Structure 1
Amino acid sequence: MLKKILKVIAVCMVLFLGTLFTCNYVINAATIGQTYTSVEKTPTNRVGLILGTAKKLTTGHPNPYYSNRILATVALYKAKKIEFILVSGDNGSIYYNEPEAIKKDLMKAGIPAEKIFLDYAGFRTLDSMVRAKYVFGLDKVTVISQKFHNDRAIYLARKKGLKAIGFNAKDISGRNGLKVQLREYFARVKVFLDLLTNKQPKFYGEKIVIK
């Protein structure tokens, strides 16, 4: 009996790991050559879409993923690789507002307020991509986040009919970076579950024209 149980557990583990690695491989393979680390080599798009994250870590320290995305967005804008910026993030409560925080920091860096548009319902990457197309009317976009996130966002965008490339903000090494990379494996499995079930954004709402 014990041998049968151990055999079942072993098979489940193989299937589980196989699923993780397969989903990761498919997304990586599908997005080869679609992200950029050099501002000069990044194609020009009218709109850059910065994906939100918390400004501070749970420890209270600044979140380097956040600050690096701000720096990447400012660099693209100043190089005239993007004309407008769409900030998509979580605004789940009156105490937590990713888009407003990002807008304030972009403005501090010299980007005019009229060039910044906010998507308050970007609760997930899927929501951000679908809303960029159907709420903000975009046909193509430059996604701004870390590479692992850009790959997933681009894959989702293209499956939803939005042409997307990515500009890679500086990534994070060390223990914090490893934790995020591990979570990304599970997020990529969720991508295929969402596509299989035709998962929709939490909200759509009235259309907003970026101009």
Structure 2
Amino acid sequence: MKFNLKLYWLWVAVWAALGVALIFGCEWRIATEAEGRCVNEVKALPDVPVAVVLGTSARLADGRANLFFLPRMEAAAALFKAGKVKALIVSGDNGTQGYDEPTEMKRVLMQMGVPEAKIVCDYAGFRTLDSVVRAKEVFGQRRVIFVSQRFHNARAIYLAGAFGIDAWGLNAADVPVALSVKTFLREKLACVKAVLDVNVLGTQPKFLGEKVAVPVE
């Protein structure tokens, strides 16, 4: 059979269009779910028992500072000091030896004036879905404020709604796209994965485990 170059490029164009539509459709779905719940000002948030600080590393693999890290910790510290929450869960990846996001997050938050007794580490927040579901199933929270950059908060709020959690997001200062192109491209795929996890795959956290008390008194 003779190769039809026009037909080949037609199929390439069709699949590319479907891929773009899927990405933007998932982003729209997540943005719609999070509308009005991602805010930049602490005072715009309700009082809830606990905030979940979504994990990120202080440094990149090449040793450079992660520009998302400090703004996220500053936002979490400001939220706690304003009295909007009574405790913080720092949820991140500690899946490999020598890599420990929660402990570093806790250390920096303590330097910023958050009492050690009010910070609980979630060492199994390997991905956002894990952090969200574990906040409810392991740490017993049904109303939370997520602390991260806006794009991340929106996805966490979407996931929270799917798992029966009433959630808001405090947006940390963002990073210009030009300085974090990989992160923003990866987020587009993460939005697709989140929608598929909820509506198609039925994805669950890698680990749950025993209940952990959070000091909210």
Deviation at 1:174, TM superposition (A): 4.2
Q: What letter matches 2:29 in structure 1?
A: V
For 1:114-193, list aligned pairs within 5 A: 114-193=117-196
Over the residues paired in the alignment, what is the CA RMSD in angstroms? Answer: 1.0
Q: Which moved more, 1:128-137 or 1:59-68?
A: 59-68
Mark the runs of 5 or more structure 1 residues left unpaired by the alignment: none
Give me the TM-score of the superposition, normalised by structure 1.
Answer: 0.97
Deviation at 1:181, TM superposition (A): 1.7
What does residue 197 of structure 1 align with? 201
What does residue 46 of structure 1 align with? 49
Q: Secondary structure at the match of 2:213?
A: coil
Deviation at 1:176, TM superposition (A): 2.5
Q: Following the alignment from structure 1 to structure 2, what is the Cα–Cα distance between the partners of residues 152 and 176?
A: 21
Q: What letter matches 1:64 in structure 2?
A: L
Q: How many residues align?
A: 211
Deviation at 1:134, TM superposition (A): 0.4
For 1:37-76, list aligned pairs within 5 A: 37-76=40-79
Q: Is the 8 A contact 2:129 2:205 kept in 1?
A: yes
Q: Is the 8 A contact 2:72 2:172 kept in 1?
A: yes
Q: Following the alignment from structure 1 to structure 2, what is the Cα–Cα distance between the partners of residues 103 and 145?
A: 15
Q: Following the alignment from structure 1 to structure 2, what is the Cα–Cα distance between the partners of residues 119 and 80?
A: 22
Q: Following the alignment from structure 1 to structure 2, what is the Cα–Cα distance between the partners of residues 111 and 166?
A: 19
Q: Secondary structure at the match of 1:45?
A: coil
Q: Is the 8 A contact 2:177 2:184 kept in 1?
A: no
What does residue 19 of structure 2 align with? 16
* Structure 1 consecutive aligned stretches of length 4 or more whose deviation exceeds 6 Å: none
Q: Following the alignment from structure 2 to structure 1, what is the Cα–Cα distance between the partners of residues 53 and 140?
A: 16
Give me the TM-score of the superposition, normalised by structure 2.
Answer: 0.94
Q: What letter matches 1:197 in structure 2?
A: L
Q: What percentage of residue pairs aligned between the two structures are identical?
A: 44
Deviation at 1:175, TM superposition (A): 2.0
Q: What letter matches 2:206 in structure 1?
A: K
What does residue 210 of structure 1 align with? 214
